[in-house]
Amino acid sequence: MSTKKRGMNFSDTEKFLLIELITQYKHIIENKKTDAVFTKEKNKCWDDICKKYNSESTIFRDTSTLKNCWENLKKRTRKYYAEERNKLYKTGIIIYYNLYLYDLTYN
């Protein structure tokens, strides 16, 4: 059994700080290439983000924790917008909106 202790939850200000730092490196971090050059560059970016994050935050977080938080934020965001899109399809609003746009463009 693992003896790893659970860390503290990220506060909203910590999440916003992480998002702010990641946006500076997003073109590298979100790049889909997985060759050795890009993997090394991504790891360097994550190390830089970790250093900047820990210098501005009161709670120490390691790189893997920050990566995990970033992945969770992306996952929750995708889930939220998928649910919103499904709500629109269920109510029929999106169908009328698409028909309205179709009428505007082709009439």
Is pTM beyond 0.95? Reply is no
Inter-axis angle of helices 36-56 and 63-91, nearest 10: 100
Segment 16-72, tens digit of pLDDT: 999 999 999 999 999 998 899 999 999 999 999 999 999 999 999 999 999 999 999
Which pLDDT does position 91 carry in this prediction?
Answer: 66
**Residues 6 or more apart whose Cβ sits within 8 Å of residue 14:** 57, 59
CA distance 12 to 89: 31
